[in-house]
């Protein structure tokens, strides 16, 4: 579904004197493309934070016209929308998630693209280097691959006898999965936990994977992946049903499937991305704006889920937690 929201264009006439020209507002079109679902409240809040930040930053004589595209975790839909966006020739594109950026870059080498919720822009071939991207794309990395080691560490701390741990992802929506797999496997082996890789692409596969992990008394790590995000409520229901503890990648997930979440405050990246789009609208070259890494990270714990799973969170762990979900 495509929603187009246009801000009104105001006409102001200044009289009295031939030397005074009539100022006109400039309309700039910004396409917002995500691999999230339109009816997802968390995703809506993230996108609104981008639009609100851009509206506040925009010059008084600029009216921003937004076009919204939600591909709902479907990479084929993302490709269809990428074609439509490129054909509409917006002044700038804000792209959230790796599949969306990949689809857009296959359609345009000239329209400026600013991204967020992207893991490995160099490995994905989006930019040449972080300091000087050099193409028509730049943006904000949500986390480095080494964060996977922290996910393992936190789950091991709460469950010291955990025999195995799986990392779940969908290779279609997370083609960068190897970026996290190495650190995940190294961290698991360093604390004598068997690492397991679980590639899933349907809700049925999610349930089957979690059921198998339950049989083996394993834990589950959710990789940064729009598939996991879109299906997080199903993951929550099934993991509780089979009593599998879950650690995930940002604090929004602690409201749903995760017992523990450690990762970036993504709303910061969305607001900063608005600043980049503003610079581009004002004439900056996208290839000269450095790719930046999120710098604000949070540790969250869902105390209700811990209680339902029969897991006691020690005071020493709680003393380091930034957010407790009651």
Residue 225, class by beta-carbon neighbours within 10 Å (0-12 exposed, 13-18 middle, 19+ buried)? buried
- Chain-centroid distance, C-alpha 22: 43
Question: Is the CB of residue 317 less than 8 Å from the CB of residue 323?
Answer: no
Domain 147-264+298-325 has CATH 3.20.20.70: no
Domain boundaries, the chain: 2-143+265-296, 147-264+298-325
Task: Return the pLDDT at 324.
Answer: 74
Domain 2-143+265-296 has CATH 3.40.50.2300: yes
Q: Which residue has the higher pLDDT, 151 or 298?
A: 151
Question: Is the CB of residue 14 less than 8 Å from the CB of residue 23?
Answer: yes
Task: Return the pLDDT at 7.
Answer: 35
CATH topology match: 2-143+265-296 vs 147-264+298-325? yes
Does residue 17 surpass a pLDDT of 50? no
Q: What is the pLDDT of residues 109-161, one digit of tens each?
A: 999 999 999 999 999 999 989 999 989 999 999 888 999 999 999 999 999 99
Write down the pTM of the prediction.
Answer: 0.86
pLDDT band at residue 23 using 50, 70 and 90 as cut-offs: very low
CA geometry: angle at 190 spanning 189 and 194, to 5°?
20
């Amino acid at each position: 579904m495509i929603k187009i929201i246009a801000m009104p264009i105001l006409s102001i006439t200044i009289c009295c004197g031939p030397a005074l020209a009539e100022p006109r507002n400039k309309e700039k079109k910004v396409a917002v493309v995500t691999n999230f679902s339109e009816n997802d409240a968390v995703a809506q809040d993230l996108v609104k934070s981008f639009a609100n930040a851009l509206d506040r930053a925009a010059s008084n004589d600029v009216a921003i016209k937004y076009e919204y595209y939600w591909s709902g975790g479907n990479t084929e839909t993302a490709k269809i929308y990428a074609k439509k966006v490129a054909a509409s020739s917006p002044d700038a594109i804000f792209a959230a998630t790796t599949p969306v950026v990949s689809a857009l870059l296959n359609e345009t080498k000239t329209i400026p693209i600013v991204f967020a919720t992207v893991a490995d822009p160099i490995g994905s071939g989006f930019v040449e280097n972080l300091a000087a991207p050099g193409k028509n794309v730049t943006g904000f990395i949500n986390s480095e691959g080494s964060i996977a080691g922290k996910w393992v560490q936190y789950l091991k701390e709460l469950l010291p006898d955990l025999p195995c741990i799986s990392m779940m992802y969908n290779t279609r929506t997370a083609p960068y999965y190897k970026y996290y797999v190495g650190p995940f496997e190294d961290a698991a082996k360093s604390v004598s936990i068997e690492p397991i890789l679980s590639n899933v692409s349907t809700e049925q596969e999610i349930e089957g994977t979690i059921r198998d992990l339950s049989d083996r008394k394993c834990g589950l790590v959710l990789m940064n992946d729009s598939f996991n995000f879109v299906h997080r409520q199903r993951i929550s229901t099934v993991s509780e049903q089979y009593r599998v503890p879950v650690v995930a990648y940002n604090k929004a997930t602690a409201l749903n499937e995760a017992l523990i979440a450690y990762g970036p405050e993504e709303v910061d990246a969305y607001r900063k991305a608005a600043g980049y789009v503003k610079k581009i609208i004002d004439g900056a070259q996208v290839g000269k704006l450095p790719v930046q890494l999120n710098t604000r990270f949070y540790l969250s714990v869902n105390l209700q889920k811990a209680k339902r799973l029969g897991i006691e969170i020690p005071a020493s762990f709680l003393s380091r937690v930034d957010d407790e979900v009651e």
